[in-house]
Structure formats: C-alpha cells, structure tokens
Structure 1
Amino acid sequence: MDFVEFARQLKQKTGVDLLSYKQGQVLRRLTSLRERKGFHSFAAFYRAMERDKELYDAFIDQLTINVTEFYRNPGRWEVLRRQILPEILRSGLSRIKCWSAACSTGDEPYSIVLTVSDFLPLQNIEVHATDIDSAVIDKAKIGKYAASAVREVPQDKLSKYFSMDNDGYRIAEAIKGRVRFRQHDLLTDPYESGYDLIVCRNVVIYFTDEAKTRIYHKFSKSLKPGGYLFVGGVEQISNPADYGLESTAMFFYKKL
C-alpha cells in the first residue's frame, strides 16, 4: 500500500481526507511518525491503526499543528477589539455568536471571550470551538496553561480571570462556560450557520488550493451578512469577492 492508497482507505474508514492537505508536508510528517512507531510501510501502519486507538490518536496529533497561545499576534487582536467588534455590534446586537475553527488547546476561543467581554456581558457571548484532534479539545476543556501561553493576556484580565495553579495558570469557570467544544473536520463535516465572527488562523495554509476554496465558501455561508472572518498572518485571501467577502483590514474579511 503506497501513501495514496493509505489516504484513500483512511478516508473511506474515518472521513479524514489526507489528499486535501499539501502532499509533501503531510507525507513527511506521517512518514516520520510511521518510522518512529516501527512500521516499515503505510499498509502495516494502517492495519495497526485499525486495531489501536492510541496509535490513531497519535496519527491525528501528528497531522495537526498545535502551536498556539492567547492573543497570538496581539496587534491583530487589537484590530479586532478597536475596529471589527464595534462594527459588528453597531447594529445594536445584544448577543454575539462566534466560531473558533481549529481551536487547538483553547487559547484562541478563550481569547475571543476575553476580548468580546469588553463589549458584552459574559452571558451574552457564545463561542463554538472545534478541532479535528480530540486530545487537544480535552486539554482545552481543562483550561490550564503555561505562563508562556498567557504572556500576551492583558494584566487586568489575567488578574480577574486566571488563577495560579502550580506551575501554570487556570482560566476561570466564567470564561470556560461561554465556550462549547466539539470535534470537527473542516474538510468533511457540516458547518453551522449564523455566525457574527469566525476565527480560523494558521490552519488553511496546510491545505491544497482546492480545499482552501471549499473551506472559504463554507465559511462565507456560515457567516451572517455583515459578519467577519479573521484569518492568520500568512493566509490573506487574494480574491475575497469570489466568496462574497470584502477585505476591511489586514486579515479580516466582511461578508457582503
């Protein structure tokens, strides 16, 4: 079984579509894992994954890039706070519905709640947080972080919503309660609708151009008119009008 056949059988069995990822990159990552686990072929690796959930979980973890922190690229979050959120809320919205897509260990969806809390009461903030990797979702639900992960959190929010916990910080239940986590594959699972804000950063770069196109179309359909898509620092959309979007600030796209 070569890699393409491995990917075909995996999609048939699990729905995970490896061929929608950039092939050179995903092949290097999975070959490294396969060899590290002692398998000499993708056929043997696949058979073992069918029997061993821990090995399958390791495969999903290797497939994803779980590098994140609170307020990653803080200048972009300041644009969200100063420009984008006031625009979203200008129509008099008293509640806001957001989606953190590929949320990893929860730093991003919790950052959304902390930022929106400058404008709305916590009980009026709803954030959906999804990731393909169930292991990082479990970590996100715990809500404990190293000091390095919270270094960009404003001091007033760090004092109010975090407590010291041995060698790290634990986020307050009041913030955790505004986030609903679930497992989700951006390539194959259905998207909910009615979002005022979708945040998906530093993820789409790992997909093929065809997969990116499908994802951006689905993001656009998931947004309310006037809602915003917030993307990563190397993910500027060159043709936003094709998706019914317009660029209003770097890395922010408004649905027309």
Structure 2
Amino acid sequence: MSHDYEEFIMKIKRKSGIDLSLYKEAQMKRRLTSLYEKKGYTSFKDYYQAMSTEQALFQEFLDRMTINVSEFYRNGKRWEVLEQKILPKLLDKNPRIKIWSAACSTGEEPYTLAMILSNFLPLQSISILATDIDENVIARAKLGIYPERSLQEVPENMKRKYFTADGDFYKVSDDIKKAVTFKKHNLLAEPFDTQFDLIVCRNVLIYFTEEAKNLLYKKFSDALKTDGIFFVGSTEQIFNPSHYNFDTEDTFFYRKK
C-alpha cells in the first residue's frame, strides 16, 4: 500500500469513523483516484487537505464511497400504515416501546422511525436500537449527512423540522440522532436482544437463502413480545407466518402471537 494512500486512510478514519481499509484496496483506490483527478488534485494528500477545508468536497467523497440505495420513508404507504394503525395500538399498551431497526444500513430507516415517533412522543423519551454488520455504514449513519435524493419521500414539515441543508446535502438534527443508538451486529451469527415491541427489518432478507431466512424469522419472532410487530420490506411477504408464531396484522406487518 502506498504511503500516500495509507496516510489518507488514517486521516479519514479519524475524521469520520470510516475505515477504508475494510474495502478491497485496488477497487477503492481506483475509485478515489479517479474522483480526485476529476477535481484537479494530484495526490491523496492534496485531496484530503482540500476536503478538510471544504465540507461539500468531503460530503461528495462520502456519497461516492458507499453505494447508497437507502431512502428516508422508502415505500411511503407502509410508513403511513405504521403511523396511523400500528403505532397507536402499540403506544396504547406501553408508551415506552422498545424498537429495533435491524440491518439499518446508513441510518435512513431508524431516523425515519424516530421522526414518525416524534408525532406521538417527545424525542428525548424515544430510544431506537439500530444495528448493521458493516462498520462503515454505521459510521455514515452516525454522521447523518445525506444527498438530496435520499430525502425525496420526506414530508415537507419533517424536512423543515429535522434537516439542515448544506449545499446538495442535508444533515439530520442532533435531536433525531440522539434518539437512535447504533451498534455493530451480525444477524446470522449473534444472539438477539428480547422483549421488543417493534422490529423493522426491510429489504434485507431478500439477500438471504431460504434456510437463513427461516432461521432469522424464528429469531425475530423470539425477540418480540407477545403482540409485538415485525415490519418487513415490500418484496418480503412471509407466506407461512403461523409457522413462526405470527399473524398478519396488515400487508408486510406481522404480529407475534
């Protein structure tokens, strides 16, 4: 590894928590070299120097570095069902509900949950656990900086209330950030916490084998309280919910029996 790149890796880790050495070196180096050359820099050193004074350059680097397909309020209709139908029932039973956003990627999902919950509860009494296996996406989530395209579905009032525009990017407010705790966690290999009222795991299970899915549905079911809700993505309908002790509460929402 060249000294220039090595130094760059160290500085980026200090600045953002993101560890570039976890990515395939040749590919990442190629991607970043073409990025800085396009901007007119000749070395990683110059590029980093410019990044440390120019916020927009740093944000563009973050955006290019991870392929981010996640969005706030992705499949908006389902979030409406959560807000209008699912949450009121859960909060009726217990205002301090325990929530887990599993495989949370770069944080859009748990932050969306916090925003929706803020319609019911003061933010300081909301606490959401968000986990992912990838340390780099967790570091990105904690930074809370997103390109404009991630916010397409965010209701206007939420955008005004909880985001600050910075060039083409948006920063999530500290109040929303404080409502979410991020941790590294491997769904397949590690045990789950228990007694959750709501578990959200969307657009992830499609990547697992049938065997792994089967195991995960069992683990998620065991992690929920009776009457707790499991919320899955729009391509992830469970065809035999009773097999995992679930009843269908609504499309893509399952209630633990």
Q: Same fold (TM over 0.5)?
A: yes
How many angstroms does 1:73 deviate by?
0.3
Deviations along 1:44-101, one digit per CA (max 9) or x if unpaired, are xxxxxxxxx8564349xx9x9852100000001001001110111122x221211111
2:77 is aligned, of 66, 72, 75, to 75
Q: Quick check: 1:57–1:135 contact (8 Å CA) kept in 2?
A: no
Residue 149 (1) aligns with residue 150 (2): yes
Unpaired segments ≥5 residues, structure 1: 1-52
Q: Quick check: 1:230–1:251 contact (8 Å CA) kept in 2?
A: yes
Whole-Å Cα distance in 1 between the matches of residues 95 and 210 of structure 2?
37
Whole-Å Cα distance in 2 between the matches of residues 78 and 86 of structure 1?
12
How many angstroms does 1:192 deviate by?
0.8
Whole-Å Cα distance in 2 between the matches of residues 134 and 230 of structure 1?
24
Unpaired segments ≥5 residues, structure 2: 1-18, 29-65
Whole-Å Cα distance in 1 between the matches of residues 242 and 68 of structure 2?
30
Deviations along 1:172-195, one digit per CA (max 9) or x if unpaired, are 000000101011111101111121
How many angstroms does 1:151 deviate by?
1.5
Letter in 1 for 2:156: Q
Whole-Å Cα distance in 1 between the matches of residues 67 and 244 of structure 2?
26
Letter in 2 for 1:198: I
Residue 86 (1) aligns with residue 88 (2): yes
1:209-248 matched pairs, under 5 angstroms: 209-248=210-249
- Using the size of structure 1 for normalisation, the TM-score is 0.74
Deviations along 1:188-241, one digit per CA (max 9) or x if unpaired, are 011111211111011111111110011001101111111100001110001111
1:8-157 matched pairs, under 5 angstroms: 54=20, 56-58=22-24, 66-91=68-93, 93-157=94-158
Letter in 2 for 1:164: A
2:43 paired residue number: none
- Match of 2:127, SS state, is strand
CA-atom RMSD in angstroms: 1.8
Letter in 1 for 2:226: P
- Match of 1:213, SS state, is helix
How many angstroms does 1:117 deviate by?
1.1
Q: Quick check: 1:202–1:235 contact (8 Å CA) kept in 2?
A: yes
How many angstroms does 1:244 deviate by?
0.9
Q: 1:172 to 1:54 in 2, by over 3 A?
A: closer
